[in-house]
Amino acid sequence: MDKMSKMPDKRGRFGSYGGAFVPETLVPVLRELEKTYRAAIKDKTFISEYKNLLRDYVGRPTPLYPAERLSSELGHKIYLKREDLCHTGAHKINNSIGQAMLAVRMGKTRIIAETGAGQHGVATATAAARFGLQCDIYMGEVDMDRQSLNVTRMELLGARVIPVKVGQKTLKEAVSAAIRDWVANSGHTHYILGSALGPHPFPMIVRDFQSCIGKESIMQIKKTEKKLPDVLIACVGGGSNSIGLFHPFLKFSPVRMIGVEAGGSGSGLGEHAARFSGGRTGILQGTKTYVLQDEFGQIALTHSVSAGLDYAAVGPEHAFLKDAGRVEYMKVSDDDAIAAFQILSKTEGILPALESAHAIAGLIKMAPSLTPKSTVIVNLSGRGDKDVEQVKKFLNKNLRLNAFPDDVSNAEFSPQSPENQIGAYSFA
């Protein structure tokens, strides 16, 4: 069983997934990164500097919060791992800080990164500012329009945001542009990839930097419950917050793990980002994994109300864990995620990121089928302030803004009626 925790192998494979499918010029660059990383995690000075920054700068450990009202609603003991309370509002900073430290260790003076909604861009611009590194963030022009506040945040943090004007002008093109820059400038530039994706060693490095989530959770739950949790639930975009929670628990076989993907607005290709229900094996941006693609292997368009989950591929370790049956994957729709956003806001006074709302929706959907009185940890990967406009637009469009019942304790999690299509409790 514990073989699973030891992956990837020397070639960066998780079973048949992962690896490094990159242009020849990047091979030595990735080797240098791996070598630096392996030495750094054996270096006590590096580890203690990283831990101190997590504590004093990021604000770790984040609380493991017993969500009492949600628990009594759903009939289980539910804990929320509060990554939304991290500096900059999500888990991404755990990775950005760690990789910025690796950049310094390699003597690099410039950081580049890709960003979709801007969350990883903000986290990376923050880390770059903290270490006095030059920072360029690639962002699709369409995303820059949609997320202009995050563009301003990055600029205020001293980063330059470079618009990407090709293709769909969104995340996938931004990743390609960042890789191209890296190939040309790797002498003084480090590329901080934002999720457990891309060529080896990134999926391993990002996972390890995010594993503080799971390690803290083990200590915290043992203290409060005197036992391990029964179930873990997290949303899966590229897969970094989920693998960060899951990985330290892999060796405990009774712990059930559920990853939640973006079911979007429908099950047709282009309407969602559920790689495990609509995708098949392929190679995208350096790694072999489940990829959403058409019959000719062209990368499919994706859709989700949540920008952070809206990507055609998933981290290779998840592909392995899916095939091994160790982690279960489900999808929830835009509607269900918006409903879960409202439920958490009104029952616990916490506005979740729309990504994290997918995990909450997964919990609500699974709750009736879990063993009664299960102890569940849901990873609340980020806060929802960034999504307020988006939620408002969505609800207005669906004429549901004021249709949410005030008294949640009287409401039922029941199948939706035709006139209640976006009803807050409609988990058919």
Q: Which one of the spans 96-104, 166-174, 239-247, 415-423 is the region binding ligand PLP (CB under 6 A)?
A: 239-247
Q: Which one of the spans 41-49, 216-224, 319-327, 352-360 is the region binding ligand PLP (CB under 6 A)?
A: 352-360
Say whether residue 239 binds ligand PLP (CB under 6 A): yes
Task: Please identify which residue in 71, 88, 189, 240 interacts with ligand PLP, judged by CB under 6 A.
Answer: 240
Cβ-contact 181, 146 below 8 angstroms: no
Smallest distance, ligand PLP to C-beta of residue 341, A: 12
Cβ-contact 238, 196 below 8 angstroms: yes
Smallest distance, ligand PLP to C-beta of residue 336, A: 16
Neighbours of 42 (CB within 10 A): 9
Strand order in the sheet with 189-191: 160-164, 134-140, 110-115, 189-191
Cβ-contact 76, 97 below 8 angstroms: no
Say whether residue 90 binds ligand PLP (CB under 6 A): yes
Say whether residue 264 binds ligand PLP (CB under 6 A): no
Smallest distance, ligand PLP to C-beta of residue 413, A: 23
Smallest distance, ligand PLP to C-beta of residue 62, A: 13
Confirm whether 223 is a catalytic residue.
no
In whole angstroms, give the CA distance from residue 60 to residue 83.
Answer: 9
Confirm whether 49 is a catalytic residue.
no
Place of tokens 């409609």: 426
Identity of residue 194: G
Q: Which one of the spans 1-9, 231-239, 286-294, 394-402 is the region binding ligand PLP (CB under 6 A)?
A: 231-239
In whole angstroms, give the CA distance from residue 90 to residue 295.
Answer: 36
280: left (phi over 0), alpha (psi -120 to 50) or beta: beta
Task: Please identify which residue in 92, 169, 190, 365 interacts with ligand PLP, judged by CB under 6 A.
Answer: 92
Say whether residue 308 binds ligand PLP (CB under 6 A): yes
Identity of residue 120: H
Task: Please identify which residue in 241, 285, 287, 293 interacts with ligand PLP, judged by CB under 6 A.
Answer: 241
Say whether residue 316 binds ligand PLP (CB under 6 A): no
Q: Which one of the spans 12-20, 247-255, 295-303, 349-357 is the region binding ligand PLP (CB under 6 A)?
A: 349-357
Pairing verdict, β 231-235 and 256-264: parallel
Smallest distance, ligand PLP to C-beta of residue 386, A: 8
Smallest distance, ligand PLP to C-beta of residue 75, A: 26
Task: Please identify which residue in 375, 382, 391, 404 interacts with ligand PLP, judged by CB under 6 A.
Answer: 382
Q: Give me the count of residues in the chain.
A: 428
Nearest partner of 22 among 245, 198, 204, 227, judged by Cα: 198
Place of tokens 């990047």: 26
Q: Distances in Å between the alpha carbon of 326 and those of 4, 52, 243, 247?
A: 9, 33, 12, 11
Say whether residue 198 binds ligand PLP (CB under 6 A): no
Task: Please identify which residue in 62, 119, 333, 342 interacts with ligand PLP, judged by CB under 6 A.
Answer: 119
Confirm whether 92 is a catalytic residue.
yes
Q: Which one of the spans 124-132, 164-172, 179-187, 240-248 is the region binding ligand PLP (CB under 6 A)?
A: 240-248
Provide φ and ψ at 299, rounded to 5°.
-65, 130
Say whether residue 377 binds ligand PLP (CB under 6 A): no
Q: Which one of the spans 67-75, 155-163, 235-243, 367-375 is the region binding ligand PLP (CB under 6 A)?
A: 235-243
407 contacts: CB under 8 Å, gap ≥ 6:
none
**Residue 346 exposed, middle or buried by CB count within 10 Å (0-12, 13-18, 19+):** middle
Place of tokens 């029964």: 230
Say whether residue 356 binds ligand PLP (CB under 6 A): yes
Total site size for ligand PLP, rule CB under 6 A? 19
Smallest distance, ligand PLP to C-beta of residue 351, A: 12
Q: How many CA atoms lie within 13 A of 181 on its CB side?
A: 23
Binding residues for ligand PLP (CB under 6 A): 90, 92, 119, 195, 235-242, 308-309, 353, 355-356, 381-382
- Known catalytic residues are 92, 114, 381
